[in-house]
């Protein structure tokens, strides 16, 4: 930063230039000029690819409010519930504000901390390991809205029949089982297959008891879209032969992806072995 000497000519120039250098740090912080009573003012600026205007929020009396900024739109909002506050993949934290009857009592700024507006984003590392169980499907729920990338790790997943295993995506309307566009290419030392599918992303392996190992990645194609690409690299072996399969598929949803389902093309074969580990981010 520029130093100001005692006989500095036009000292306001370097002072204002120093402030301009720190403009990014002031973005989304408290604006004392526009804060009054139960109104919290904040400075705008350029943040996360968005130009945000100076703004204010009218807060409820005698409560604790949590102020966040949407990572995908730059919109600032507040709520007395911690729903968005605890969705760091979608919202960055700004303030925790306590109000009295007529005025703001205290303001805690979280900008520089983990998951703050100027801090690092710490996504959950995963939803844990799930046994496939013995049913005809395995549902994975609890995916946070706004998630852009999910990876599934398959360890020895098998079924009781020869119907192929497939992955389906779900949004707020439930699991989708139509309008998937993609294919599986599968090969061994003796043969190769090309398998199209519209009910889900089809995985390698088409014999009863074949164990599948590998990864499936679900990637949102754009932060503001609901179009997802599914890619999988899976090895399946049944004790006699082994197949390596690569799957590429895409699927559009109506809202954010929040759940997944592993099932079979036939829908009646039962899982009988293996685990699935779900990683987010």
Give per-residue pLDDT as tens, 127-167: 777 889 899 999 998 888 888 899 999 999 999 999 999 99
Contact indicator for 180, 193 with CB cutoff of 8 Å: no
DSSP E strands in 132-191: the ranges are 138-140, 149-159, 165-171, 174-175, 181-187
82 alpha carbon, distance to own chain's centre: 18
Query: What tokens were used for 115?
Result: 């998951």
Radius of gyration over every alpha carbon of the chain, rounded to an integer in angstroms: 26
Phi, psi of 54 (to 5 degrees): -55, 145
Q: What mean pLDDT is predicted for residues 213-231? A: 94
Query: Considering the domain boundaries, does residue 232 fall inside one?
Result: yes
Query: Considering the domain boundaries, does residue 114 fall inside one?
Result: no
Query: 143 and 250, same structural domain?
Result: yes
113-129 residue pLDDT tens: 999 999 988 765 577 77
Residue 7 has pLDDT above 90, yes or no: no
Query: 257 and 150, same structural domain?
Result: yes
Q: What mean pLDDT is predicted for residues 166-187? A: 96
Query: 138 and 93, same structural domain?
Result: no
First to last CA, the chain: 37
Query: 164 and 62, same structural domain?
Result: no
- For the chain, what is the mean pLDDT? 92
Confidence of residue 239 (pLDDT cuts 50, 70, 90): confident
Contact indicator for 114, 120 with CB cutoff of 8 Å: yes
Query: 155 and 57, same structural domain?
Result: no
| Count of domains for the chain | 2
Query: Considering the domain boundaries, does residue 4 fall inside one?
Result: no
53-96 residue pLDDT tens: 999 999 999 999 999 999 889 999 999 999 899 888 789 999 99
- Alpha carbon distance 41, 239 (integer Å): 67
Query: Considering the domain boundaries, does residue 188 fall inside one?
Result: yes
Query: Considering the domain boundaries, does residue 120 fall inside one?
Result: no
Domain that holds residue 182: 128-280
Query: Considering the domain boundaries, does residue 36 fall inside one?
Result: yes
Q: Tokens 């109000």 appear where? A: 99
- Alpha carbon distance 76, 189 (integer Å): 57
Q: What mean pLDDT is predicted for residues 201-226? A: 94
203: helix, strand or coil: coil
* The pLDDT of residue 125: 58
Query: 214 and 92, same structural domain?
Result: no
Query: 160 and 74, same structural domain?
Result: no
21-53 residue pLDDT tens: 888 999 999 999 999 999 999 999 999 889 999
* The pLDDT of residue 129: 79
- Alpha carbon distance 189, 191 (integer Å): 6
* The pLDDT of residue 124: 56
* The pLDDT of residue 20: 85
Task: Look up the CATH number of the domain holding residue 157.
Answer: 2.60.120
Percent of the chain residues topping a pLDDT of 90: 72
Q: What mean pLDDT is predicted for residues 206-218? A: 96
* The pLDDT of residue 144: 81
- Alpha carbon distance 269, 134 (integer Å): 10
Query: Considering the domain boundaries, does residue 170 fall inside one?
Result: yes
Query: 81 and 165, same structural domain?
Result: no
Pairing outcome for strands 91-99 and 64-70: antiparallel
Query: 250 and 143, same structural domain?
Result: yes
């Amino acid at each position: 930063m520029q130093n100001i000497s005692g006989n500095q000519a036009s000292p306001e120039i370097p002072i204002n230039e120093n402030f301009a250098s720190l403009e990014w740090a002031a973005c989304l912080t408290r604006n004392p000029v526009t804060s009054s009573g139960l109104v919290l003012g904040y400075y705008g600026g350029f943040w996360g690819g968005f130009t945000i205007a100076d703004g204010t929020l009218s807060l409820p009396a005698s409560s604790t409010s949590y102020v966040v900024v949407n990572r995908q739109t730059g919109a600032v909002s507040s709520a007395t519930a911690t729903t968005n506050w605890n969705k760091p993949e979608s919202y960055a934290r700004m303030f925790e504000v306590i109000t009295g009857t007529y005025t703001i009592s205290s303001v805690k700024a979280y900008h520089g901390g983990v998951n703050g507006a100027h801090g690092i984003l710490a996504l959950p590392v995963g939803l844990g390991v799930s046994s496939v169980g013995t049913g005809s499907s395995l549902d994975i729920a609890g995916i946070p809205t706004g998630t852009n990338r999910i990876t599934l790790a398959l360890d020895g997943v098998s079924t009781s029949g020869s119907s192929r295993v497939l992955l389906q995506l779900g949004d707020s309307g439930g699991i989708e089982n139509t309008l998937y566009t993609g294919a599986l290419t599968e090969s061994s030392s003796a043969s190769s297959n090309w398998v199209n599918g519209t009910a889900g992303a089809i995985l390698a392996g088409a014999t009863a008891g074949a164990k599948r190992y590998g990864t499936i990645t679900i990637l949102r194609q754009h932060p503001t879209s609901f179009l997802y690409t599914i890619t999988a690299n899976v090895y399946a072996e049944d004790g006699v032969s082994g197949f390596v399969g690569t799957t590429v598929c895409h699927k559009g949803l109506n809202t954010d992806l929040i759940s997944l389902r592993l099932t079979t093309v036939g829908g009646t074969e039962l899982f009988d072995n293996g685990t699935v580990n779900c990683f987010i981010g």
